[in-house]
Homo-oligomer: A and B are copies of this chain.
Amino acid sequence: MATDAQQACFEAGIKFGSLYHQFAGTPVSTSSTRSLEAAMAEAIENQPFCEAVDVTVHDDRVADAVDHENGYTELTGSLMDVEMRIEYAGVTVRTRMEMEDGYPLMKLVDVVDGGESSESADPNA
């Protein structure tokens, strides 16, 4: 059996893949960023163990990406930051997607099992 912390990380990954591939390609302009952020967050928060989703679609990046006369672009990872908190069997997982070396990267930020973070755990403390 996987541990609760492993299961929590698996659940966290599902949410990230879901969010990205459900909404990538959505037509977006600076006038529709707010509604898209809200819909993405609320949609994924419906999924099990997903306590909080925060999506920022950057208006300035959207404006830069609108490079043709039609006035819109398609949502990609380079236009947004995403943060999520997953709770599974007492384990809290925090994740983040952000640009790194020009490529959007989904990252595990922190795994906290029953109040003890695997990030800060120090057996010698």
Binding site for B on A (CB under 8 A): 1-3, 5-7, 9-29, 31-32, 35-36, 38-48, 67-68, 70-72, 74, 76, 93, 95, 101-103, 106, 108, 110-111, 118-119
Q: Which of B25, B43, B72, B119 contacts A22 (CB 8 A)?
A: B25
**Beyond A22-B26, A35-B39, A42-B35, is A9–B2 a contact (Cβ under 8 Å)?**
yes
| Chain B minimum-CB-distance residue to A50 | B27
Q: State A13–B25 Cα separation when bound (angstroms).
A: 18
Copies of chain A in the complex:
4
Contact A42 B46 (CB under 8 A): no
Docked CA distance A17–B11 (Å)? 9
Determine whether the beta carbon of A10 is less than 8 Å from that of B42: no
Instruction: List B contacts of A6 (CB < 8 A).
Output: 5-6, 9, 108, 111, 118
How near does chain B come to A120, taking the closest CB pair, in angstroms? 9
Nearest Cβ distance between residue A79 and chain B, in whole angstroms?
13
Q: List 11 A-B contacts (CB under 8 A).
A: A2-B108, A2-B118, A6-B6, A13-B17, A17-B18, A19-B21, A22-B26, A27-B47, A28-B43, A28-B46, A35-B38
